[in-house]
Amino acid sequence: MSDEPKQTKDWTGEEKLRVVLEAMKTSVVQVCAKYAKHGLSEEQVQSWRRSVIERGGGIFEPKPEGASKPAPRSKGRKRSPFLVFVATFSILANLGVAALAAAHYFDYFDLSPWLGGLSPNTNLQSPPERSQADASPEKDFPPLASGSPSRPSLDQLTPTGDLSPRTPVTVPTLGGQQPPRGPGIVSEVEVCGARARGNKVVFVLDLNDYMRIGPNGEPNFERLRKEVRDAIFSLGEKTTFNVILLHGISRLHLFEDKLVYATDSKKREAYLWLSFPVWDVPKAVKARFGEPDLMVKPPEGVVGPWRAMSAALSFDPDLIYLLTGDCASLRADDFSSFELSGVKMSYEAQTPAWERWRRETSAVRLTIAKWLQSDSLRSADLEVTDAEIDNAVRQLGIVMPKKPAGAPDSQWPWKAIYADFKRSLLSPISNLAATQVIVSLPKSRQWPVGLESVSREFAKLSGGSFILLDEAFFSSP
């Protein structure tokens, strides 16, 4: 009887290959010992190894064409034309709904009538109101000292003052083409109680001496400047803006030479630019851009507030705030023939009251100038400036001669200047920016009838408003 183990297992091809690989890794003896219970012998393992060596290379040989063909796929059922139509229509309908939703979200199309007044940006749950204890008024940000390296944070530059609602001034609907609408683009703006909406806003502030002289002149001017700065901070970051400062009848200072977005950094820059010392205007205004930087030049013969208005309109805004004052009190004799080019002055005889006021005023100012010039510490060739005389008047408490009531003369042809301004316009006034004309006058002073009538006309036709500020406004917090 043979001692060889009896074959007890039918080996599959995969199992034979595994045995051969294990034998190559270890040894034939170890593999046979491992599978001894299945009757595996060394002869079998060697035989399987030879088979692998002889026929294993065929695995890597390319198969001849036609050796194996993929089984043909069974044809599906023929698609019904009706089902194809339904599927196509459903896809197109879904795309249309998505396009309408996107257009409504970006305010290219108004679906409010179909959505019951709701828009994608409507908050269904209003945020909790701040309690009175949480609200605390913040202090005005002081002007930075010259050469100071620090920059203010936006929190420090937050608009200040009493946040209680003020009785609004009704402003008609904006005239002209409606600005594009969207989140953060159109801003609600308020200056001196005049409220309006716009996405391209230009602020014009008059710097002339008449804005600061007289009782409470400087505090009133500070209030007007603060109104402009607070309005700038109220703009959304996607709203564009610019600021124009008017000095004299033709000199302009521009914050930028184009409209810029109301980003946090630009708001800070505008705040600092408008923080010049009031007692040193206009020398303290930091030069950035001027009238030569305008793309559209103001027309000849247009001076004063209408010249500033021409500059503001050159930026194609949809909202303008013009803050001016007793511009009719400017003397034509104080300006050069170049500045008055195109202005047809009518040198009528002066009234005795105004002539007496001018003589007395000139005598007092000349006396102060001589006194300042006599200072031993002052250079003899250093001319005394008007700002120095004004400062001496304030410090010494000198009572200046009182101005007569009414306009000094009829030299300024305001209706003719306005006519030149209108002829330069490229569009009807109703298509231009809604203009809010805000006028600050000293007590007992009035604008000439011609200037006030044309200003009211322009404000009304443009869709804006005309406001004469009174003492109650400046006395309010």
Ordered DSSP codes for 109-172: S--HHHHTT--TT--SSPPPPPPTTT--PPPPPPPPPTT------TTTT---S--SPP-PBP-P
Whether omega before 292 lies within 30 degrees of 0, making that bond cis, reads no
Confidence (pLDDT) at 152: 47
Helix H or strand E encompassing 465: strand 465-469
Largest CA distance in the chain: 158
Residue extents of the structural domains in the chain: 13-54, 187-338+408-475, 352-396
Q: Are 308 and 247 in contact (CB under 8 A)?
A: no
Confidence (pLDDT) at 263: 95
Residue 463 CB neighbours (<10 A): 23
Confidence (pLDDT) at 377: 79
Q: How far is Cα 187 from Cα 261, in angstroms, rounded to an integer?
A: 12
Confidence (pLDDT) at 122: 39
Residue 157 CB neighbours (<10 A): 20
Q: How far is Cα 198 from Cα 185, in angstroms, rounded to an integer?
A: 8
CATH architecture designation of domain 187-338+408-475: 3-Layer(aba) Sandwich (3.40)
Burial of 91 (0-12, 13-18, 19+ CB in 10 A): exposed
Q: Are 368 and 389 in contact (CB under 8 A)?
A: yes
Give Cα 32 to chain centroid, integer Å: 87
**Can you spell out the DSSP letters for 323-382?**
EE--GGG--GGGS-TTTTTT-----PPPPHHHHHHHHHHHHHHHHHHHHHHT-TTS-TTP
pLDDT means per 10 residues in the chain (477 residues)?
A: 58 84 81 83 83 69 55 55 73 73 56 45 40 40 41 46 38 43 78 95 95 86 95 94 95 95 96 90 88 90 95 96 92 83 73 80 89 81 84 88 66 90 93 96 86 95 95 85
What's 230-249 look like in SS3?
HHHHCCCCCCEEEEEEEECC
Tokens of 443: 């007590």
Q: How far is Cα 209 from Cα 400, in angstroms, rounded to an integer?
A: 15
What's 272-293 look like in SS3?
HHCCCCHHHCCCCCCCCEEHHH
SS3 (DSSP) at 79: coil
- Residue 125 makes CB contacts below 8 A (sequence gap 6+) with none
SS3 (DSSP) at 419: helix
Q: Which residue type occupies 58?
A: G
Confidence (pLDDT) at 24: 80
Q: How far is Cα 475 from Cα 143, in angstroms, rounded to an integer?
A: 24
Give Cα 413 to chain centroid, integer Å: 37
Q: How far is Cα 157 from Cα 173, in angstroms, rounded to an integer?
A: 31
Confidence (pLDDT) at 240: 96
Q: How far is Cα 268 from Cα 129, in angstroms, rounded to an integer?
A: 28
Confidence (pLDDT) at 375: 82
- What percent helix, strand, coil does the chain show, rounded to 5? 40, 10, 50
Q: How far is Cα 157 from Cα 138, in angstroms, rounded to an integer?
A: 9
Nearest-5° Cα angle at 250, 248 to 252: 90
Confidence (pLDDT) at 141: 47
Q: Is the pTM of this model over 0.75?
A: no
Q: How far is Cα 275 from Cα 245, in angstroms, rounded to an integer?
A: 13
- Residue 377 makes CB contacts below 8 A (sequence gap 6+) with none
